[in-house]
Structure 1
Amino acid sequence: MALRVWITGASSGIGAALARRYAARGASLGLVARRGDVLRELAASLPGRVFTYPLDVTDTAAQAAAAQDFMQRVGVPDIVIANAGVSAGTLTGADEDLEVFARIMAVNVQGMVNTFHPFVGSMRNGGRGRLVGIASVAGVRGLPGAGAYAASKAAAIAYLESLRIELHGSGVKVITVLPGYVETPMTAVNQYPMPFMLPVDEAARRIIRIIRRGDSYAVLPWQMAILARLLPLVPNALYDRILAHSIGRKPRGLPV
């Protein structure tokens, strides 16, 4: 039987690349994104059964209704990928950034919860399936000028671990993926060096391999996996001194 795959943030970047690869493998897809026109254009280019749901992942009711529609059409998904995410530079002392903080946290954390919530019961009852959260290496330690994004990804990592333990023994796997830099619209605005950058299609290929293996936690590429292991070991005084002066800052403004 063909895979049934649900992907949020599917209109561009990692989400669109995942959709293309799964469609090429004959999967039935449920694709979620805010930009309905771009989403429909992507769907029209894909083979097989593709259902599009233009909505904001922070809209709990809309996500639940879309999930029910998808399950009625094709059944309970085998894979649910919470990929939707936004980013922007933020400063706690800036009044105009308070709304940006709230939006980033809402999309990157509550949006992930909203994505999984409609499917957990059915997947648990069936004793199978994979819930995949796309977090980030940025969630391993705080980054100057990116407090909202780093905090949201740290929260996502902790949430996914909590969910994994809750579902232990149920047959439902929870998979946490931490990409480093990937060539997407989110990173295109960055005006600083981004080491070990992955092309988006290569990132999607590696993520699908991680999902197929059922890894509970994975960082990509391998260079970033080493960095993610080492960063927590760096003393605060040294970490603060290095990061305060040697890293570029994400542009501030509306989340992308």
Structure 2
Amino acid sequence: MNPPDRPQGETRSAQHAGTPVTDAPLAFITGASSGIGQALARRYHQAGWRLALVARRTVETSAWAQGEGMAADRWRVYAADVADIDSIVAAGQACIAQQGVPDVVIANAGISIGMDTADRADLDVLARTLATNNVGLAATFHPFVAPMRSRGSGTLVGIASVAGIRGLPGHGAYSASKAAVISYCESLRGELRGTGVRVVTIAPGYVDTPLTRKNRYGMPFLMRAEDFADAAYRTIAAGRSYRVIPWQMGVVAKLLRALPNPVFDRLLAGRPRKHRQNER
């Protein structure tokens, strides 16, 4: 794989099924309609990449790309619900057919909803969260593993969270799903070792997005989505296997991980919990 941040004028020759692929590298990004996904799309576009944008809200995503002044031949939008395996797999296959095998695939789409295990309805929240954040992530990668392995290059990026490093009260579904993202990507990295295909795990701390603005607790080291996207872009370009962004949250996460359970439990006692479904 050529370095993702190479000069824009540098060329690359490649073909898929006899159809020439343009010389600009291609990034496939899920959850591209808002928040982190949209910020990543903007950052990759600024670096001269072509974009394959995956979202449920395709009209809004297309309008955003046009509003950013992106040339029509530099991007495509694919409709998919990552919680539906056939839907996201079809989007990946369509991308390969229309734009070629991506250089970078970023499985960013996810949901974050509070839960209470005593409430039967919240078990459905857990199932939906795991279907989106875990099965959906694996299904996002699925169409690209074999062609990337055959090509001998490519990068698969899983967006985890510091919430996956230690379970937070009221965050059972989200913390469990993001812990699973970290472990899954670690497993996949081992499976693809020696193939030329990299697996990168990025664990964001608190990023200012529509998703986090509903939180009713303090968010230390809160970053702008644009700053997160820039740091993530550089991490992916460097091929790092794992990184917490911002680094300060990485330090906090390590400290929390090292705390004995009684100390950790006391520290979080009384902390406001994440909004559950139908809560304002």
Given the alignment of the two structures, is residue 239 of structure 1 paired with residue 264 of structure 2, yes or no? yes
Q: Equivalent residue for 2:277?
A: 253
Q: Equivalent residue for 2:114?
A: 89
* Cα displacement (A) at 1:254: 5.6
- 2:88·2:136 contact (CA, 8 Å) conserved in 1? no
Q: Equivalent residue for 1:27?
A: 49
Cα distance in 1 between the residues matched to 2:239 and 2:31: 21
Q: Equivalent residue for 1:201?
A: 226
Q: Equivalent residue for 2:214?
A: 189
Count of residue correspondences: 254
Give the counterpart letter for 2:188 in structure 1. L
- When the two chains are superposed, the root-mean-square deviation of aligned CA atoms in Å is 1.3
Cα distance in 1 between the residues matched to 2:93 and 2:263: 50
Q: Equivalent residue for 2:17?
A: none
Q: Equivalent residue for 1:132?
A: 157
Give the counterpart letter for 1:253 in structure 2. Q
Bigger shift: residues 29-38 or 142-151: 29-38
Cα distance in 2 between the residues matched to 1:114 and 1:254: 28
- With the length of structure 2 as denominator, give the TM-score of the two structures: 0.88
Cα displacement string for residues 137-165 of structure 1 (whole angstroms, at most 9, x for unaligned residues): 00001000010000000011000000000
> Secondary structure of 1:6's partner?
strand
Bigger shift: residues 26-35 or 121-130: 26-35
Cα distance in 2 between the residues matched to 1:82 and 1:135: 9
Give the counterpart letter for 1:129 in structure 2. G
Q: Which 5+ residue runs of structure 1 have no aligned equivalent?
A: none
Q: Equivalent residue for 2:142?
A: 117
Cα distance in 2 between the residues matched to 1:254 and 1:61: 28
Cα distance in 2 between the residues matched to 1:75 and 1:33: 19
Mapping 1:153-168, distance limit 5 Å = 153-168=178-193
Given the alignment of the two structures, is residue 171 of structure 1 paired with residue 196 of structure 2, yes or no? yes
Cα displacement string for residues 39-65 of structure 1 (whole angstroms, at most 9, x for unaligned residues): 221222341321111210122222222
Q: Equivalent residue for 1:44?
A: 66
> Secondary structure of 2:223's partner?
coil
Cα distance in 2 between the residues matched to 1:67 and 1:144: 36
Give the counterpart letter for 2:66 in structure 1. A
Structure number, greater radius of gyration: 2
* Cα displacement (A) at 1:171: 0.5
- With the length of structure 1 as denominator, give the TM-score of the two structures: 0.96
* Cα displacement (A) at 1:26: 2.1
Query: Structure 1 254/99 Cα, relative in aligned 2: closer, same or farther at 3 Å?
Result: farther
| Structure ranking higher in helix proportion | 1
Cα displacement string for residues 94-147 of structure 1 (whole angstroms, at most 9, x for unaligned residues): 122111111111100011001000100000111101000000000001000010
Cα distance in 2 between the residues matched to 1:254 and 1:57: 22
Cα displacement string for residues 176-195 of structure 1 (whole angstroms, at most 9, x for unaligned residues): 00010000111010111100
> Secondary structure of 1:158's partner?
helix
Query: Structure 1 162/57 Cα, relative in aligned 2: closer, same or farther at 3 Å?
Result: same
Q: Equivalent residue for 2:86?
A: 61
Cα distance in 1 between the residues matched to 2:248 and 2:261: 22
Bigger shift: residues 151-160 or 60-69: 60-69
Bigger shift: residues 93-102 or 37-46: 37-46
Cα distance in 1 between the residues matched to 2:159 and 2:173: 16
Bigger shift: residues 187-196 or 26-35: 26-35
* Cα displacement (A) at 1:84: 0.3
Percent of aligned pairs with the same residue?
52
Cα distance in 2 between the residues matched to 1:60 and 1:88: 21
- 1:191·1:248 contact (CA, 8 Å) conserved in 2? yes
Q: Equivalent residue for 1:215?
A: 240
Bigger shift: residues 134-143 or 50-59: 50-59
